[in-house]
Structure 1
Amino acid sequence: MEDSTSIISPDERTEIINSYRKLLRVTTGILDTSDIRQVRQSIDSILKKNGFSRRLSGRLSILHSLAVSRIVFEEMGLGRTSLISALLYDTVCRSGMSVEEIKKQFGGNVAGIMDGLIKVSELYQRNTSIQSENFRKLLFTFAQDVRVILIIIADRLQTMRTLQLYSEEQQLSISSEVSYLYAPMAHRLGLYSIKSEMEDLVMKFTNRDMYKFIARKLNETKRARDKYIKEFIEPIELELKNHNLKFDIKGRTKTIHSIFNKMKKQKVEFEQVYDLFAIRVILDSDLKNEKADCWKVYSIVADKYQPNPSRMRDWLSIPKSNGYESLHTTVLGPENKWVEVQIRTHRMDEVAEKGLAAHWKYKGIKGDQGLDNWLANVREILENPELNAVDFIDDFKLNLYDEEVFVFTPKGDLIRLPKGATVLDFAFDIHSQVGKKCVGAKVNLKNVSIRHVLQNGDQVEVITASNQEPKQDWLNIVVTSKAKSKLKQALREIQYKEAEFGRETLVRRLKNWKLELTDQLTGQLVKHYKYKSVHDFFRDIAIEKLDVMAIKDFVQHQARKEQEINEVSAGVRSAENFVAPQPDEEDQLSDDVLLIDRNLTNVDYSLAKCCNPIFGDDVFGFVSVSGGIRIHRVNCPNAPDMHNKFSYRIVKAKWTGEAGGNYLTAIKVVGEDDIGIVSNISQVISKEFHLKIRSINVNSTEGLFEGTISVFVNNNQILNTLIKKVKSVRGVLSVSRIDAII
């Protein structure tokens, strides 16, 4: 990562001495003689042991640490503990100095912060993707003390300030990291100045041309802008003095990054961005009069210039979650230009610039002990949301991720799981096939069972076996919804295989008894044994919960009843003597659509309910007992019986002419039980195909739905096209035509 050498140039030695002296000057009263001596001894000891280490930029690590320490103190307002930690951070992380050694020299407070900083350093060394939400959450998990996060932000800011020393590839990588993670984090902590500088520096190295363009434009318009600001301020300044208010008022040009965002958002050129600057009124006001004085200033500004009601922002009544308090309004200034005015007190302004650190100051906390007590109080509040003692921190929950654990794959990829997650959860998170074959794992190189509960930072290697299959009791081991869903799906697949085996068993046994399993018979069996689905019926046969001999008795009983009915019409040999019944309206067909055996004339016919033929199907006619001819599909479930036992009743039939009328048919759809899927299917049928739906029946179980849709079509080509289209609907697993329509 960096080169270590004891050789430094004279210029570098001078820079170290000057930086060190500057730090001592600005921290007078914060670090005592003992602190300074201990810090110097620690750094000297590390340097003697490891030499002067350098960063990727080539810059000495000690110079970086001195600069970070000044940011921590001057720009964040942190105290002794944070200052010492910042001084030691970079050097200690590169030397391997233990937390115990730090604790002996500087005490538990510094050691606690250093422990968090070292863990963050180790996290980087894992090469985990910084662009991962998990990285940010793990960072918070390691940072039990908010000062760890603040020092890391200071470290990143100093890196950005020296980014020109890095290679172009490193510049892009570091800028991406700061843009994605640390600038938003600074904003969350209320560090507005640092957040703004980070965003500008990111743009400087990632969008150089636009950055230079806006910087040049701002420079070109500076004189005119300053003149306008002066003209705008003068009448307000006069009125504020007349009201005996103590204040500072100034114009502040907005950052290059924020101007660029406005250009993108408003889709305008630089010249069309009207709010390039903001006027800030900062009051010297007592705490009890702050809000009243701010509203008094607002009233004065609104009297002088017309306010825009839609651009009013009141963060006095309800401060932002990061503690930001201010009153913003946009008014119409001279030359009919809109100007943003920000009204706040000195306390509010310092909080806006320095964030949480300023809150510590204004809470009246003195010294590190008070600060540590305050931080402990914050953590207590975060762990118990019912308490509300510190309003400004409510939304910034360092312990937000306490209910999650972060573990690593052998390759170093970061996986986020809920607290209490097991090895089996991890396996299913990797892949459903890995989960189904999981027999255990190696966690931190130690063998554990699938029930082992994972902890933060564990490295997990899943162990699988080809003969392993999911078990029902695994549902009691997993805690993640993903694992439960994948596991239930795997168990259903096993159950479907069992059901198929049960069906094959029943078909084979019936065949031995000279019987055949038809869809009609299956429906009768399911109804007789009171099963909710055919799937459950066949599965119980497979697991021997349902006696096949009992099924045989029922089937033979049904066969005898059918035989008795058939014997009544045993002598019937032609259709000429039949008296045709009145067919249903939907079964009525015209003679020019269906051509029946040429030897038969003036014969009424209807479509059989057991297979519901439609125009275009291969069909035949069957002379029914009650008279007339029933038209069946060639592949009707009952066709084999009719051909074998009653071949003398079979007559030829075929469709002729063009399709006409509507034919009732039905499809079975199986899919994932998601909200809106049935609606999407019906939309396809009625809106895309303009077909009339007669009925939709849907049953849902364990995340799957099984639906039967009855629909009118003109011919089988339309039906086949419809089936293909419905299959393409997201979430649909299978679509098939149904023979019998109930």
Structure 2
Amino acid sequence: MTTANDLINLVRAYNPRTNAKMLTEAYAYGEKMHEGQKRHSGEPYFTHPVAVAVILADMQLDDATIVTALLHDTIEDTNSTYSEVTRIFGKEIAELVDGVTKLTNLQLNSTETKQAENFRKLFMAMSKDLRVILVKLADRLHNMRTLRSMRPNKQVQKARETMDIFAPLAGRMGMQWMRDELEDLAFQVLNSEGRSSIIRRFIKLQRDTGDVIHKINSDIRLELDRANIEAEVFGRAKKPYSIWRKMEEKKQSFSRLSDIYGFRVICTSEAECYAILGVIHQRWRAVPGRFKDYISQPKTNGYRSIHTTVSGRDGKRVEVQIRTRQMNEVAEAGVAAHWAYKDGVRTNNPFAVDPVKWISTLTERLDSAEDHEDFLEAVKLEMYSDQVFCFTPKGDVVKLPRGATPLDFAYAIHTRIGDSCVGARIDGLRVPLWTRLKNGQSVEIMTAEGQRPQATWIDVVATGRAKTAIRRSLRDEDRERFIKLGLELARVAFDHVGKRMTDRALTAAARRMHLPDSDELLARLGSAEFSARSVVERIYPELTARPGETIDVESAIVGLSPHQTFQRARCCQPVPGERIVGITYRGEGVRIHAIECPVLEELQNQTDRWVDLRWHSGNHPAAYTVSFDMTISNDAGVLGRICSLIGEQKANISDLHFMDRKQDFFRLIIDVDVRDVEHLHAVRLSLEADSDVATISRHRDLTRKP
């Protein structure tokens, strides 16, 4: 394991003025807090925070970020507290550690609605201090490097999450080296045979053709020497996942792929970049449509470079990137270049982007998303897409994701322009609105008064901003008609269960469906976004239950052997509808745990005790106890109202005890018997809606015997 002195020397190499005393204290504090803890591999747990700190030191980041790396798991996994970290290391570092802790607790691979909300929280954390994300990315990188010690199903989960979220985020931040490594590590888990196949073909290709990279490297150096240009040339084969993705996108075999080699030329000035481009295009034939000038049109994360693809030696296509040394520093570090140090001072790199401005450009188009679906769609479009640069007739530049159309261009200028668009001209020629835009094109939008967005436009546009604006316009246009239709559908549905539809009932249903008001609920009901039955279910779940026999508690679990008994683990209290796993105990049968129960981590190496189980589908009785940890106002009648709310949901209170009594608030644990996870959510929603309930969470007592 890297020692404290090793880490200090690593930091001191780029920052001679580093606060060695603070780094030493952080190292000692983290080591003490994690004492006795082990990783899945059996190594001391503290090896992980140290490895994260080394990754960030290699990126030449500031002392606060290095210290945060050493402490990033202390608040979550040890007896350390926010106040203690603040007292010892100051508020800045405590805030960073707390931010990383909150990100760690986000379940980014959950259902879409929850995932969208967690993405909002992720971007909020990024907007407060981008260094939180840098530590989290380094944390994920080391976890992926040491993934093999985890259970296979956990490896797949982490690899999928990395491929879907963290690798694209690293790329969006300009840290392409990290994106490449994260993707390759995830690729090893998700498709190890595919990766091995590509590596084998590479080895065969190199055996058949010799060292192509060295040969092309020499060719480029020779041409630069002839032009009296001093520059460094680097060549490499592209990563296995990058090649696999190209094979999938182009539906081509490995043997038909041409541009599997990449070269980078690094010089001293912008003028030399264009001179080198001329030298390369004079020597080799440029491939049409494969030229990008990110020097004159930089990416929002500060990335600047010239990209061109040429037919090189033996007709092989190679991509060449041309940039200055300062541009290369930003290309390697991305947004993190803002915090990079050199010779003890913050690097004065003119191309390093201001993180505050960068995050605002990333999120400005996400704020307009009205619901979870729109937001998640907008986030994924922003994170995954490359960009094209087009021009207005006046010469202004509009940046759009690859695959964007003239409609996206129109909405990027102004929502009013997009809504009234009737046609477009590209480079002076009239084109259909579904035409895909290319780099450097000039786009003119034609509008007409009275024009409104069409429903078919949703399938034409590529940006989240345009999709959101079109959906909003379509909803507004037919809103009154949909509200009237929704009102009638709701009235019939309420009558069907013998209840009268009231404004209060509709408002309650809207709140439980996370909608702003009853009009929005009716408009969406009328537009068939959900059924009238689902609205009634939010208020009267017991009246909308589908017919069928109630499942006996003893028969609730599917997957047990004959005569095998079971009991619910008291630490996590799983209920029907939640994912579960069984753990065998000698002489005690099987205990049922929720799949996310922390207790399972202690049993990861005892796979022979794991039993694959699931809940029986159907109607379950209200016989499954869950505990709520609640803080409520200390006012007359509040506790009675809480009990009444639980009773209205046809749930029974089986126990109640106070944890803390203050003058203005009570904290208590309430045990409630519920049918399943939907019933649990209904009870919790009804309690959350009460104004005298300050906080409510599901209480999981990990100190109790499983």
Q: Distance in 1 between matches of 2:119 and 2:105?
A: 14
Aligned residue number for residue 191 of structure 1? 175
The AA in structure 1 aligned to 2:22 is: D
Matched-pair contact (CA < 8 Å) for 1:324–1:348: yes
| CA shift digits 1:224-258 (9 cap, x unpaired) | 56633343343432332243322111211100001
Aligned residue number for residue 361 of structure 2? 395
- The 1:112/1:52 distance shift into structure 2, 3 A limit, reads same
- The 1:344/1:483 distance shift into structure 2, 3 A limit, reads farther
SS state at 1:61 partner: coil
Matched-pair contact (CA < 8 Å) for 2:49–2:69: yes
Aligned residue number for residue 276 of structure 2? 297
Pick one of 85, 88, 109 that aligns with 1:105: 88
Pick one of 56, 59, 70 that aligns with 2:54: 70
Matched-pair contact (CA < 8 Å) for 1:240–1:297: yes
Pick one of 69, 83, 96 that aligns with 2:66: 83
- The 1:323/1:86 distance shift into structure 2, 3 A limit, reads same
Aligned residue number for residue 122 of structure 2? 139
Pick one of 233, 243, 261 that aligns with 1:249: 233
- The 1:102/1:159 distance shift into structure 2, 3 A limit, reads same
Aligned residue number for residue 311 of structure 2? 332
Aligned residue number for residue 271 of structure 1? 255
Matched-pair contact (CA < 8 Å) for 2:266–2:322: yes
Aligned residue number for residue 187 of structure 2? 203
Q: Distance in 1 between matches of 2:140 and 2:305?
A: 28
Q: Distance in 2 between matches of 1:220 and 1:131?
A: 46
Shift of 1:305: 0.8
Q: Distance in 2 between matches of 1:300 and 1:488?
A: 62
Matched-pair contact (CA < 8 Å) for 1:254–1:278: yes
| CA shift digits 1:51-79 (9 cap, x unpaired) | 422344544320000001111120x3321
Q: Distance in 1 between matches of 2:40 and 2:112?
A: 19
Mapping 1:604-619, distance limit 5 Å:
none
The AA in structure 2 aligned to 1:396 is: L
2:33 is equivalent to residue 46 of structure 1: yes
Tell me which structure has the larger Cα radius of gyration: 1
2:451 is equivalent to residue 485 of structure 1: no
Q: Distance in 2 between matches of 1:259 and 1:219?
A: 14
Q: Distance in 2 between matches of 1:64 and 1:402?
A: 39
Aligned residue number for residue 103 of structure 2? 120
- The 1:192/1:483 distance shift into structure 2, 3 A limit, reads farther
Q: Distance in 1 between matches of 2:336 and 2:28?
A: 29
Q: Distance in 1 between matches of 2:527 and 2:233?
A: 71
| CA shift digits 1:691-737 (9 cap, x unpaired) | xxxxxxxxxxxxxxxxxxxxxxxxxxxxxxxxxxxxxxxxxxxxxxx
Pick one of 320, 328, 347 that aligns with 2:299: 320
Shift of 1:491: 11
What percent identity do the matched residue pairs reach?
29
Matched-pair contact (CA < 8 Å) for 1:137–1:401: no
Q: Distance in 1 between matches of 2:367 and 2:161?
A: 21
| CA shift digits 1:320-359 (9 cap, x unpaired) | 2222211111112232222221111122222122111224
Greater alpha carbon shift after TM alignment, 24-33 vs 124-133: 124-133
Aligned residue number for residue 34 of structure 1? 21
Q: Distance in 1 between matches of 2:519 and 2:113?
A: 29
Aligned residue number for residue 95 of structure 1? 78
Aligned-residue Cα RMSD (Å) equals 4.2
TM-score normalized by the length of structure 1: 0.48
The AA in structure 2 aligned to 1:470 is: D
Aligned residue number for residue 554 of structure 2? none
Moved over 6 A (4+): 125-131, 362-365, 402-406, 489-493
SS state at 2:295 partner: coil
The AA in structure 1 aligned to 2:160 is: S
- The 1:131/1:199 distance shift into structure 2, 3 A limit, reads farther
Pick one of 205, 216, 220 that aligns with 1:232: 216
Matched-pair contact (CA < 8 Å) for 1:141–1:402: no
Q: Distance in 2 between matches of 1:220 and 1:41?
A: 50
Matched-pair contact (CA < 8 Å) for 1:30–1:80: no
The AA in structure 2 aligned to 1:196 is: D
SS state at 2:322 partner: strand
Q: Distance in 2 between matches of 1:323 and 1:234?
A: 30
Pick one of 162, 165, 168 that aligns with 1:181: 165
Matched-pair contact (CA < 8 Å) for 1:65–1:86: yes
The AA in structure 1 aligned to 2:60 is: G
- The 1:245/1:155 distance shift into structure 2, 3 A limit, reads same
- The 1:231/1:130 distance shift into structure 2, 3 A limit, reads farther
Matched-pair contact (CA < 8 Å) for 1:140–1:398: no
The AA in structure 2 aligned to 1:469 is: T
- The 1:122/1:132 distance shift into structure 2, 3 A limit, reads closer
SS state at 1:265 partner: helix
Gaps of 5+ in 2: 373-467, 469-485, 492-497, 529-706
| CA shift digits 1:278-304 (9 cap, x unpaired) | 12211133xxxx1x2111001000111
Aligned residue number for residue 397 of structure 2? none
- The 1:43/1:330 distance shift into structure 2, 3 A limit, reads closer
Q: Distance in 2 between matches of 1:80 and 1:436?
A: 59
Shift of 1:127: 7.5
Matched-pair contact (CA < 8 Å) for 1:65–1:88: yes
Gaps of 5+ in 1: 1-15, 382-391, 407-417, 419-431, 438-464, 494-742
Aligned residue number for residue 469 of structure 1? 502
SS state at 2:88 partner: helix
Mapping 1:369-384, distance limit 5 Å:
378-379=355-356, 381=357
TM-score normalized by the length of structure 2: 0.51
Matched-pair contact (CA < 8 Å) for 1:113–1:148: yes
Matched-pair contact (CA < 8 Å) for 2:159–2:190: yes
SS state at 1:274 partner: coil
Matched-pair contact (CA < 8 Å) for 2:243–2:260: yes
SS state at 1:309 partner: coil
